[in-house]
Amino acid sequence: MALTSGTRLGPYEILAPLGAGGMGEVYRARDTRLERKVAIKILPSHLSENPILRQRFEREAKAISSLNHPHICVLYDIGNQDGIQFLVMECVEGETLAKRLEKGPLPLEQMLKYGTQIADALDKAHRTGVVHRDLKPGNVILTGSGAQAARFWVSESCAATRGGRHADGCGHANDSSHAAGHDRGHFPIHVARAGRGKDVDARSDIFSFGAVLYEMVTGSAPSQGRAS
């Protein structure tokens, strides 16, 4: 369901839409208590209506919200109002790595800098028991202070945010272009593993991280080979 400007979800006031697709809608919003801009993700109805998925979402959201790392997009809050389940996320200034790679590969110095930051963020998440599940250039935001890994969301059915770059500066993955998990030709590794009856775990993130490094160096996505 589309929300209009001025709609309130608890203390959050919707300002403008950022993107929409099969995985839900994302809005730029204002936290009226703290007077800060946030990004609000409206979760798809199947999640809100399924008690098992909803409980898993709430349990894993707690784990994600505990992550404290300079290169991980912050999950501020979760809420439910009038049957609408939503996430409240940090509104990040910058452009996605996918957008930057449209200009070609990164210089070696930048690749090493961003790669180290992403690897450190993944290590922090994995040690906390959190798996990214959808690491790709569209979900890495380049800011003034470095790379920020966005979309550490709670389960395969809870993918969130936007991959393009909007003028307002809230960097989140766009479901309209990545609803099926694809990004500039990337095959979703978590789907490949799940399709062969394998759990999605830290190894999936490591495989995806290697693909991201490859693209940063070459400027093009690796071939869609078999994920181990």
Catalytically annotated residues? 134
Measured CA to CA, the distance from residue 192 to residue 153 in angstroms comes to 18
Bridge pairing between strands 24-31 and 12-21: antiparallel
Measured CA to CA, the distance from residue 188 to residue 173 in angstroms comes to 14
The whole-angstrom distance between residue 176's C-alpha and the CA centroid of its chain comes to: 13
Measured CA to CA, the distance from residue 203 to residue 77 in angstroms comes to 28
Q: Residue 216: what are its φ and ψ, rounded to 5°? A: -65, -35
Please report the beta strands in the chain, taking only residues with DSSP state E, as ranges in sequence order: 8-9, 12-21, 24-31, 36-42, 75-81, 84-90, 95-96, 140-143, 146-149
